[in-house]
Amino acid sequence: MPEDERIFGVREVDHDSFSNYRRKYRGGSSSNNTFGGRLEKLAKIIPDNLAFVQGERRLTWRQFNERVNRLANALLALGINKEERVGIAGFNSIEWMESFFALSRIGAVPFNLNPRFTPGETKYIVEDADGVAMLVEDECLSAGKRMVDELVSLRHLIVYGVGKPPLNIPPGSLVYEELMAKYPPTKPKLDYKVTNEDFCFLMYTGGTTGYPKGTVWDGEQRVKGLVVLGLNALVPLMDRLADRHVYGFVAGLGALPGLKAFHPLNRRILGSRPVKLLLPRIARRLLGSALTIKLNRFLSPEGWKVLPCAPLFHGAGYEAVFSLLMCLGSTTVFLPTPRPFDARQFLETVEKEKVNQALIIGDAFAVPILEELRKAREEGKRYKLFSLLTIASSGAWWSAHVKKELHEYLPHFVIMDMYGASESSVAFTAVATSEDKEEAGAGARITPDKGMYSLQARCRVINPETGRDIKPGSGEIGEFLIGGPMALGYWKCPQKTRRDFRVVDGERYFFAADEGVVDQKGRFRLMGRGGAQLINTGGEKVYAEEVEEVIKSHPKVRDVGVVGVPDERWGEAVTALVELEGEEKLTAEDIIDYVGQRLSGYKKPKYVVFVDSVPREASTGKILRRELRQFACEKLRPAGGG
């Protein structure tokens, strides 16, 4: 491996095998609870119900399954074998989903590629995965045929257009639709089994430094784990069924007749303690079952409609979409043009398709939606968004003031601020409605020994130095540990696997490196993440997200990124790079004073830099902190803060 990759990448060894990760499960060698098996089940029990929508294209589960079979047969004919890795590079589309399920059906292993990666980044990941082929959206072909020639392991490049023939076809590559047309829509005949114990997904997840690292998944931890994720997300909603907005959301999710959102008797009954304890147990047994999916589609033929703005190549979008597919057989609605994100097209699509749930990543999506709603109000336009019962966010900080203003435009809907990790099949949800006095932030309810929350995946918050559990209400900062279904480890990173996936008191946990406090009611409040987001100034820890949240609440601030820059006196100096709204004016002292009125003195920025825009990853909305820190070091100017 080149020396520069050892410095900047995360790869620890040059060769790896799934045999280093394989686990045995009861019935695992004969189980077909795989992605391919799940699709086959959906195509059998709700064949003529709507599965996917994108623009004017609409596919039923039977049609989708037949197209997946055609592609799976084509991939087999190309010589792609079980457990060989194949990359998918594209934005949200029906073709992305077909590619994923076709690979899964034959036991090959999909791996995700961010189409905005540079050729060097893409090359690194394909080499890391030992990829044998790539399915690529035509508009994402930054490297094209040159990459096929350079990568020894890569045998095929398959190019697709989203709902149309591809425009950019490198020499020697295969055309997606032409390839599929040569093969039958029947289920591929395999001379091997694909089971829960097999390698099913290599999901690449970004870190604070270096190239992304691959998380290794089998069907047991990923496919069955996505049902656990759905249950985890439902538990906080069930805990608040007496709230009329939450009740309306849950009634819509189940599509049950007679459960009107404003029916007080139903709310009182379903909000009672015995029922609240019983419902999660019923949900655990029925979620993802044929009975639940059939009933849901009988009562609502077009199903629970989900619109992911978050990209499928990012954990937040992928896990939410696939969890809802596994649990409910939901209908997925993709934006006709998923990038760049167009808030107007989003709202028009919600209105046209009567979308029930949207999936976003924090302020990067929420702020443009809010701006479009403001603009529409000023123009006297009103979007009909009564079908939209919830917006769920995960993967990036979602500001409380943005949530609050969205509730002013959409008072009926429920906000779900989801917290999890790409290494886990678990997400913890904080629920907020327009009637709440405070908007709930990302975090989790620490599992008690008894009661409703004992049904969610186990989590802990520990003192990283002593390993002791943090006492609720103590104010002590601890590290969050996630139990339940999780990745088997990091591909080609045995040392990091041993460090981040550990057994505590006989149970395996993922050490998320996220830190926060536990309040007296046992709720974990995320304060921030370690690494580039944690600033050590004068011996005190400052979480970048906490300072960002305060600054973004200023009415004249549109966006902000906070980093630590080297400082002789403080070690690191808290530095805020601030983007103002329109023609608004503020001084550095205004920002520093504003933070000082709300946070401890050592958390105030020492420096403030005003910028035209805060650099963010275009698809996920995450702050590019390395670039931000470099820019701050170059452009830094004293702010006069103490």
What pLDDT score does 216 carry?
A: 98
Residue with the two structure tokens 């020697």: 172
**Residue 250 to residue 284: CA distance in whole angstroms:** 15
Identify the band that residue 568 occupies on the pLDDT scale cut at 50, 70 and 90: confident
- Tally DSSP H helices, then E strands, for the chain: 20, 27
Q: What is the DSSP string of 263-307?
A: -HHHHHHHTSHHHHHHHHHHHHHHTT-HHHHHHHHHHSTT-SEEE
Question: Mean pLDDT throughout 531-540?
Answer: 73
Identify the band that residue 209 occupies on the pLDDT scale cut at 50, 70 and 90: very low
Residue 467 scores a pLDDT above 80: yes
Q: Give the closest residue to 489 by CA, choosing from 508, 462, 463.
A: 508
Packed helices 35-45 and 290-299: angle between N→C axes, nearest 10 degrees: 40
What pLDDT score does 256 carry?
A: 52
Superfamily grouping for domain 533-635 = ANL, C-terminal domain (3.30.300.30)
- Where helices occur in 433-528 by DSSP H, the ranges are 494-500
Packed helices 315-328 and 290-299: angle between N→C axes, nearest 10 degrees: 90
More confident residue, 105 or 279: 105
**Residue 231 to residue 427: CA distance in whole angstroms:** 9
Poorest-confidence range of 6-10, 208-212, 453-457? 6-10
Q: Which residues contact 393 (CB under 8 A, 6 or more apart)?
A: 316, 359, 360, 361, 362, 365, 366, 415, 416, 417, 418
Q: Could you tell me the two tokens for 233? A: 């997300």
What pLDDT score does 580 carry?
A: 93
| CATH 3.40.50.980 assigned to 222-444+485-502 | yes
Question: Mean pLDDT throughout 392-401?
Answer: 83
Confirm if 562 and 548 have CB atoms less than 8 A apart.
yes
Q: Which amino acid is at 160?
A: Y
Question: Mean pLDDT throughout 94-111?
Answer: 98
Q: Which residues contact 597 (CB under 8 A, 6 or more apart)?
A: none
CATH code that applies to domain 3-211: 3.40.50.980
**Residue 285 to residue 283: CA distance in whole angstroms:** 5
Confirm if 308 and 334 have CB atoms less than 8 A apart.
yes
Poorest-confidence range of 83-92, 130-139, 451-460? 451-460
Question: Mean pLDDT throughout 256-269?
Answer: 56
What pLDDT score does 142 carry?
A: 63
Residue 255 scores a pLDDT above 60: no
More confident residue, 412 or 571: 412
Q: Which amino acid is at 44?
A: K
**Residue 165 to residue 168: CA distance in whole angstroms:** 9
Residue 639 scores a pLDDT above 80: no
Q: Give the closest residue to 32 by CA, choosing from 287, 189, 219, 217.
A: 219
3-class DSSP state of 611: coil
CATH fold match for the domains 222-444+485-502 and 533-635: no
More confident residue, 640 or 101: 101
Q: Cα separations (Å) of 636 from 462, 584, 609?
A: 37, 21, 7
Q: Which of 53-62, 320-329, 518-527, 555-564 has the highest mean pLDDT?
A: 53-62
**Residue 135 to residue 158: CA distance in whole angstroms:** 5
Backbone φ and ψ for 414, nearest 5 degrees, come out as: -105, 135
C-alpha angle 316-321-323 in degrees, rounded to nearest 5: 95
Average pLDDT, the chain: 86
**In residues, how long is the chain?**
642
What pLDDT score does 14 carry?
A: 92
* Each residue's pLDDT tens digit, 597-613: 988 888 899 999 999 99
Other C-beta atoms within 10 Å of 368: how many?
A: 18
Q: Which residues contact 84 (CB under 8 A, 6 or more apart)?
A: 108, 109, 132, 133
Identify the band that residue 217 occupies on the pLDDT scale cut at 50, 70 and 90: very high
The pTM assigned to this predicted structure is 0.85
Confirm if 572 and 625 have CB atoms less than 8 A apart.
no
End-to-end alpha-carbon separation of the chain, Å? 47
What pLDDT score does 641 carry?
A: 44
Question: Mean pLDDT throughout 95-104?
Answer: 98
Q: Could you tell me the two tokens for 353? A: 């398709």
β-pairing, 523-529 vs 443-445, is: antiparallel
Instruction: Return the domain boundaries, the chain.
Output: 3-211, 222-444+485-502, 533-635
**Residue 295 to residue 46: CA distance in whole angstroms:** 10
Q: Give the closest residue to 414 by CA, choosing from 255, 247, 238.
A: 247
* Each residue's pLDDT tens digit, 313-357: 988 899 999 999 998 899 999 999 988 899 999 999 999 999 999
Residue 217: its H or E element:
strand 213-218
**Residue 132 to residue 87: CA distance in whole angstroms:** 8
* Each residue's pLDDT tens digit, 416-427: 998 888 899 988
Question: Mean pLDDT throughout 25-32?
Answer: 74
